[in-house]
Amino acid sequence: MPEIINSDQGSQFTSNAYIDLIKSYNYTKISMDGKGRATDNIAIERFFRSYKWERLYLEYPETVTEVKILTKKYIEHYNFTRGHQSYDYKTPAEIYYDISQQAA
């Protein structure tokens, strides 16, 4: 188990059953974002929104294996092929690895 588990305040994370389970691991602490703080995890929230609308809802995988394959392919696409408006339509890989500067 990790040292800290962070979540939002959704009902599944505030239920007694969930909290008691986490507390049963003496070395794991619970951390929750403030109510209405969806922007605390904005990057991952944006990723999951894109993933759902660009792949998951269009392809309807039926098995766990299909979801894993679809997710792996989408992460590669998201990071290495798909341009992002916030990065002036460069990919996260181009920004992270400074690819455009290395090629110049």
- pLDDT tens-digit map of 54-72: 999 999 999 999 999 999 9
User: Lowest-pLDDT range, 35-39, 42-46, 89-93?
Assistant: 35-39
Q: Which pLDDT score is estimated for 40?
A: 67
State residue 27 phi and psi, 5-degree precision: -100, 0
Q: Which pLDDT score is estimated for 13?
A: 84
What average pLDDT does the segment 16-45 reach?
80
> Is the pLDDT at 100 greater than 60, yes or no?
no
- Provide the token pair at 101: 């500067």
Residues 8 and 40: their CA atoms lie apart, in Å, by 9
pTM, two decimal places = 0.60
Is 78 in contact with 49 (CB distance < 8 Å)? no
Which residues does 78 contact at the CB level (< 8 Å), separation at least 6? 47, 50, 51, 92
Residues 36 and 21: their CA atoms lie apart, in Å, by 24
